[in-house]
Each structure stands twice: as C-alpha cells, then as structure tokens.
C-alpha cells in the first residue's frame, strides 16, 4: 500500500512540474487558442505566476496558468471564448 501511495504522490508531483514548465515557456506575442482550437489573441503579458494577459473584445483578460497547455506547438487554454469573455 505504501508503494502505491508513493507512486501516486510522485505522479502528482510530476504533473505539477510539467504544468509549470509549460507555463514558463509562454512568451509575449505567442498566439493563444481556446478549447475549440479557435484563435483568441496574442499574449500581451506573462505574470510571475504564469498567468497570461490578453486583450480580448477590448478588455484585458487574465487566463489562469492552470488552464494553459501546449498542443501541437500551439498555446491552448481549456477555456472557450465565451468563458474568456466572462473573465475580468
């Protein structure tokens, strides 16, 4: 049972490390795509926590780093455009 717990903890730690690494690679002017693969906007700023700021529909929107991933070389968020529009 202890080995299984250790394995689960190691896998969890590895997934957090992978997410942080992906967020750290985000740079200003990278193109951001939503959950459907549609282009949202270029990244205007990357915060110290890895969140990205984009200008979408005339407003600055903060996209949480936990929603970001890289898919086939594209910066993706798990949010849809509708969800992004609701962000402050």
Cα–Cα distance for residue pair 46/33, rounded to 1 Å: 15
The whole-number pLDDT of residue 80 equals 97
Model confidence pLDDT, tens digit, residues 55-83: 999 999 999 999 999 999 999 999 999 99
* The domain defined by 2-85 carries CATH number 2.30.30.240: yes
Other Cβ atoms closer than 10 A to 23 = 22
Environment class of residue 17 by beta-carbon count within 10 Å: exposed (0-12), middle (13-18) or buried (19+)? exposed
Model confidence pLDDT, tens digit, residues 2-52: 555 554 545 554 444 444 444 448 999 999 999 999 999 999 999 999 999
Non-local CB neighbours of 11 within 8 Å, separated by 6+ positions: none
Structural domain spans, the chain: 2-85
């Amino acid at each position: 049972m202890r080995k299984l717990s250790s394995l689960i903890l190691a896998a969890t730690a590895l997934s957090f490390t992978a997410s942080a690494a992906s967020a750290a690679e985000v740079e200003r002017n990278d193109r951001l795509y939503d959950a459907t693969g549609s282009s949202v906007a270029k990244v205007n700023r990357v915060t110290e926590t890895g969140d990205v700021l984009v200008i979408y529909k005339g407003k600055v929107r903060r996209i949480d780093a936990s929603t970001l991933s890289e898919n086939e070389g594209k910066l993706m968020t798990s949010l849809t455009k509708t969800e992004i529009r609701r962000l402050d």
